[in-house]
Amino acid sequence: MKSYNKRIFDSFKSQVEDAVDHHGQPLQVRQRNTFVIFLKFLTVMKPYWDKVLLVVLVVCGSMTMNVIWPWMGKILIDEALPDKNWRLFWILVVARLSLIAFGRIMGLFNQFFTRYIDLWVFGDLRTRFFDHLVRLSMTFMQNRPTGEHIYRAGSDIWGVMFMITDLLPRLLEAIFEFFLIMILLTYVDWRVMVIILLYMVPYTMLVHWITSLVRKYDREARTKWQRTTAILQDGVAGKMVVKTFARRRHEVRKFMSANVDAWRTQIKRRYTFILKGQLVGNWGFLPWIMGWLIRAWFFRQAILGHITYGSLLPIFSYMNRFRNPFQRIVNLVQQLRVSMVPAERIMQTLDVAPVVVNAPNAPDMPPLQGHVRFEDVYFSYEEDVPILQGLDFTIIPGQKVAFVGHSGAGKSTVLNLLLRLYDPAEGRVLLDGTDVREVRMESLQQQVGLVFQETFLFIGTIRDNILFANTNATDEMIWEALREAELDEFVHSLPKGLDTDLHEGTSLSGGQKQRLGIARALVRNPQLLVLDEPTSSLDSDTEVRVLETLRKVMKGRTTIIISHRLPTVVDADVIFAMDKGRVVEAGTHAQLFAEGGYYADLYTTYFAGKHAGENDEDD
């Protein structure tokens, strides 16, 4: 047997190791430098740098003007009031009111642009995340709970947006204010600056320790909230199973238990924040002690006559203004550490590289004629578990072919490789003589008509669901596809016709859903039509009617049918019987049945089981 391509297995393996398991617990995570992650997300701000810079400059200008007020207060107390200089008094009052008005206007301006930036950055981040997610392989998607993606695209993206649109500008503003006040405070009394800098050493250490606890609880909480989202999504998606197995109470208890578990961790996180506020918050114990010690010393200086009483106003004001921006810098840096938790979680998804990618400068696939060739193809989803082993067959244009075999024989894998959802480990998949790896996969997939076992309908109208396959289709093309699928009369009977919303009381039967799926495939007018178990979810009567429709639409097209319901394939031009990843027999139904081999056994077993089931029903 030929050796398999290790790159594919390693890539699949990395996709399973990253992120979290189905229970929401962390698996092996690629370690990344926090600063690198921060810069990665900072690039999202590039289109908005001009607006961010404008906001920061406005705030810094407002801060600079506010610094003037303490000096105006000193002049008011030391000169205007003692000398009864009313002209100076009113100048100071008007100046103060002007500063207040300017600050309010700039505050409104700041809020407007901040919310504008928030809106676009949040949308940009979610779009990039979703775009990357849909590029990843089917293996990754199948090994991840859907709730994980939903939570990361919501709460985690929101946390990252807060980091880059709120924390970063506030940090720049705090740094500017810190240096501005430091210069002024050095001029007033350099000893205050030294005392505050010494005080900030234990303050920083304490904040860092508390923030480490917050990071720990935040990571745990997000993992647990993600699990509640996954349980909720499973309960809604599997509502039929939940109801028919009478497991409603069990699912509710499971969801409640997950919520309680998440809230316990959330409460720990909240209590840690409360502890932080009491110890090192703006009105916490440590800043309060430091503030009053410095105030007592300066009061003594004023009583002894070393400084004027008016000087106390700018000194105390700048002391607080100096301490506050320094504390803000420390706190904002620590908040950035907390915001790295959702950023790291998002990177666990963004770090996963797509397994199947377009070759550099790959051309578009020319219009398909329907010639399919598999040349000695080997493939496996897991190492040492081969699925296809030297698969080799040819389909000529216009043929109707079928793949049959036991479960696990590799039938659906043929479809996955043909549509280039995966690449073969060895061998080639050719369409009209072109290796599918040498063209843009989107240009190939857009030319294939697909009908699946169960048609998935998207939120929207009948028109929207058909246009999903061909956004350029006209109404005439849509109605033609509906006529071919024999669904046009039903759609005409609806009050809103094509504009009927499928999620507003319009209930479709299983057969109608499949016909809508057929219409969606036909609106492309494909030369290659692929039917993957198209009738397995239908009852016998509906299956007969849908099969009759399918036989009509197959004419003139290369058609590939993958099915375990053998009556759907008896009229195929060629039937490929697969076993253990190989084609073991090929021919028409009559030829293969007459040989009495593998296909004949499948056919006999199928009808024996069907008749046994009918007899059981009669009993």
pLDDT (tens digit, 9 = 90+) per residue, 384-402? 788 898 899 999 998 999 9
pLDDT at 613: 47
The pLDDT value recorded for residue 371 is 92
pLDDT at 71: 66
For residue 545, count other CB atoms closer than 10 A to its CB. Answer: 15
- The residue type of 539 is D
User: Does residue 236 have a pLDDT over 80?
Assistant: no
Average pLDDT score over the chain: 78
Residue 496 has pLDDT above 50, yes or no: yes
Q: CA 30 to CA 19: how far, in whole Å?
A: 9
CATH superfamily assigned to domain 16-350: ABC transporter type 1, transmembrane domain (1.20.1560.10)
Higher-pLDDT residue of 606 and 172 is 172
What pLDDT is recorded for position 258? 87
DSSP H helix total and E strand total for the chain:
22, 10
Closest CA to 401 of 425, 418, 422, 420: 418
Of 311, 314, 212, whose CA–CA distance to 269 is shortest? 212
Q: What is the pLDDT of residues 54-98, one digit of tens each?
A: 777 777 777 676 666 666 766 777 777 777 777 877 887 787 787
Which pLDDT score is estimated for 175? 81
Q: What is the mean pLDDT of residues 563-568?
A: 79
Residue pLDDT, tens place only, 94-120: 877 877 777 777 777 777 777 777 777
Give the pLDDT of residue 431: 92
More confident residue, 123 or 4: 123
Residue ranges of domains in the chain: 16-350, 367-447+560-619
Residue 27: band (very low, low, confident or very high) from pLDDT cuts 50, 70, 90? very low
Confidence of residue 445 (pLDDT cuts 50, 70, 90): confident
What is the maximum span of the chain, computed from C-alpha positions, in angstroms?
A: 121
pLDDT at 515: 85
CATH of domain 367-447+560-619: 3.40.50.300
pLDDT digits (tens, 9 = 90+) for 465-485: 888 888 888 888 989 888 888
Token duo for residue 369? 């004629």
Residue 128 backbone dihedrals phi, psi, to 5 degrees: -65, -40
**Whole-number percent of the chain with pLDDT over 90:** 8
**Least reliable range by pLDDT among 247-251, 320-324, 379-383:** 320-324
Distances (CA, A) of 130 to 153, 343, 384, 443: 7, 15, 32, 21
pLDDT tier for residue 23 given thresholds of 50, 70 and 90: very low
Q: Is 563 exposed, middle or buried (0-12, 13-18, 19+ CB in 10 A)?
A: buried
Q: Which of 465, 538, 463 is nearest to 494 (CA)?
A: 463
In this prediction, residues 129-152 reach a mean pLDDT of 77
pLDDT at 326 over 80: no
Confidence of residue 17 (pLDDT cuts 50, 70, 90): very low
Report which of 124, 24, 131, 43 is spatially closest to residue 345, judged by C-alpha positions.
Answer: 24
Average pLDDT over residues 343-372: 85
Distance, CA of 172 to CA of 185 (rounded, Å): 20
Q: Is pLDDT larger for residue 40 or for residue 608?
A: 40
